[in-house]
Amino acid sequence: MQDRIAAVTGAAGGMGRAIVARLLADGLRVAGLDLDGAKLDAMAKEQGDRFLPCPVDLTKPDQVTQAFERIDSACGGLDVLVNNAGTCFMSDFPDIPAEEFDSQMQVNFYSAFHCCQAAVPRMLHREGVKKIVNISSNGAYNFDVFDPPHYRASKAAMDNLTKDLARRYARHKIAVNSIAPAMTETPLFGVLTQEVLDRAIAQMPHGRAMQPEEIAAWVSFLVSPAGDISSGNVLILNQGRDVR
């Protein structure tokens, strides 16, 4: 049987590292795409030759094209794409500079859009059910917590793309889902003041932030054969915080 190949964006970040480790443990070969080439190289030393480091600025469409060509030549195909790269800019409405709004959409949404454009044609020729997992956010759905509107909008756009592609490619056996986590302990917590962070964690029903490995386990489930029959869904992971 052919190796299954996954591309994980934001691979060097908190969630990305956990997703890479989990998919490698599941037996996939994994290409890690990230701005931070030094961290990717360090991961390659730890993970061995089933991990392919791909330094790239995902906000640059030509660099996205080149990264997927590199995956083609190194791995010979693509079965799984995890769009995980992202950040949260914290200026608040109405005082959001135009450049920050552009960057927010570019990092969180355009990058995922361009990666899907590169990935889907490559997946069409692969066997079995191919998977796209978009890492969205609870911020697109919960208006009680701190998230600024340009961050929410970038993730809402991503979830709309999830549904479009799920419908468009259902008969081609490409399953597309979003995972929308709440507070997960990663370096991204650094964008918050201690006060905002403490309040947000106190709102989590289990009294603690979620861990990146817990999100990676859900990515693993969707990527596994058990996930074949789910497409077009947004899975909210938040310990039940927002159930009304």
Ligand X SMILES: NC(=O)c1ccc[n+]([C@@H]2O[C@H](COP(=O)([O-])OP(=O)(O)OC[C@H]3O[C@@H](n4cnc5c(N)ncnc54)[C@H](O)[C@@H]3O)[C@@H](O)[C@H]2O)c1
Segment contacting ligand X (CB under 6 A): 41-49, 50-58, 118-126, 168-176?
A: 50-58
d(CA 219, CA 10): 14
Q: Does 238 bind ligand X (CB under 6 A)?
A: no
Give CA separation, 75 vs 23, 68, 103, 187, in Å. 15, 10, 31, 30
One-letter amino acid of 202: A
Task: Give 12 or 23: the residue with its C-beta nearer to ligand X.
Answer: 12
Mark 118-147 with x for binding to ligand X (rule: CB under 6 A) and - for no binding. Answer: -----------------x-x----------
Beta bridge partners of 176: 132
β-strands 51-55, 80-83: how paired? unpaired
SS3 213: helix
Is position 37 an interface residue for ligand X (rule: CB under 6 A)? no
Residue nearest to ligand X (CB): 13
Other C-beta atoms within 10 Å of 214: how many?
A: 15
Q: Is 107 in the site for ligand X (CB under 6 A)?
A: yes
Question: 45 catalytic, yes or no?
Answer: no
Cβ-Cβ contacts under 8 Å for 114 (sequence gap 6 or more): 58, 61, 64
Judged by CB under 6 A, does residue 12 bind ligand X? Answer: yes
Active site residue 151: yes
**What does the binding site for ligand X look like in residue numbers (CB under 6 A)?**
10, 12-16, 34-36, 56-59, 84-88, 107, 111, 135, 137, 181, 183-184, 186-188
- Active-site positions? 151, 155
